[in-house]
A and B are shown apart, each in its own frame.
Chain A
């Protein structure tokens, strides 16, 4: 019975997220995106400069939160709590910028 218990716990832990190899692959993807971000400092991306930086920033954010923080595999309530704070922060950000006429 002890073996069954240990096996059940072990299996649950193993299923919670990726394997170590999977995490390393995710880190390589993040490193490549970071290299691309830094390249915008040296290479002229023209009109794509700002959109490409924003897309890469959001992609890195989502990858870290989903895979390293396990939100992709965890209970949805955790996602709700985190993203609720994030949405409120974005609301605060845009309200502040609009109040000070940052966009005009």
Chain B
């Protein structure tokens, strides 16, 4: 009886519904979404790899990339994954204060990364690399731009999650809500790990 009570309280406490898989449908849906996102970025990275040598009259990738700057941006995004996982860990311990703190730090690091990308795009544009300058420029801006949009959406998700936790308006399992946002955030970090190597570090 004690076991049953513990199990029932566990389900209710987590706001979970009984599912045919025994797993959270929300989490399953997020993983399925991330699997489909792999295809999106797979297509964009393939396109960039094909066209990165097609510079027409525009600047060559190696002439414009600022590796030290991008390395710092990459490090910032990587560290945001640490702060995100610390937010998830705090949420699992039911420590709302720490959860909000780490979510805020993660959002700030994400915003710093996006700011760096805006600066980089502006610098490239001033050096003559417009969106339609060459096949290289189009594929580069599309790939990194899509990633930047994903990071921006992630920052918004983090701030909204922080806000609803602060107002205690989370329906269902709070820790799981933070974990699902965390999965998305780590995914954008993982995609950047690939972009940083294939786009920036490997010369065209």
Binding site for B on A (CB under 8 A): 1-2, 4-5, 8-10, 12-14, 16-17, 19-20, 23-24, 26-27, 30-31, 34, 37-38, 40-41, 50, 53-54, 56-57, 60-61, 64-65, 67-70, 75, 77-78, 81-86, 88-90, 92-93, 96-97, 100, 102
Contacts and interface: CB of A to CB of B under 8 A. Distances in A.
A8 B6 contact: yes
B196 A37 contact: yes
Contacts of A16: 92
Closest 3 CB pairs of A and B: A85-B35, A89-B42, A13-B92
B183 A61 contact: no
B79 interface: yes
Contact of A81 (B2, B9, B28, B193): B28
25 contacts: A1-B5, A4-B2, A8-B10, A10-B93, A13-B175, A14-B92, A20-B86, A23-B89, A34-B74, A37-B201, A38-B71, A38-B201, A41-B201, A61-B193, A61-B194, A68-B82, A69-B186, A77-B28, A78-B28, A85-B35, A85-B38, A86-B38, A88-B39, A93-B42, A100-B50
Contacts of B38: 82, 85-86, 88-89
B18 interface: no
Given A75-B23, A97-B49, 8 more contacts: A19-B89, A27-B78, A41-B71, A82-B31, A82-B38, A83-B35, A85-B36, A93-B46
Given A78-B31, A93-B45, A57 B92 contact: no
Contacts of B35: 81-86, 88
Interface in B164-181: 175, 179
B190 A88 contact: no
A98 to B, nearest CB: 10
A96 B47 contact: yes
Interface string B138-153: 0000000000000000
Contact of B201 (A40, A60, A86, A93): A40
Interface residues of B, number: 57
A97 B190 contact: no
A83 B39 CA distance: 11
A52 to B, nearest CB: 11
Nearest to A24: B82
Contacts of B47: 96
Nearest to B79: A27
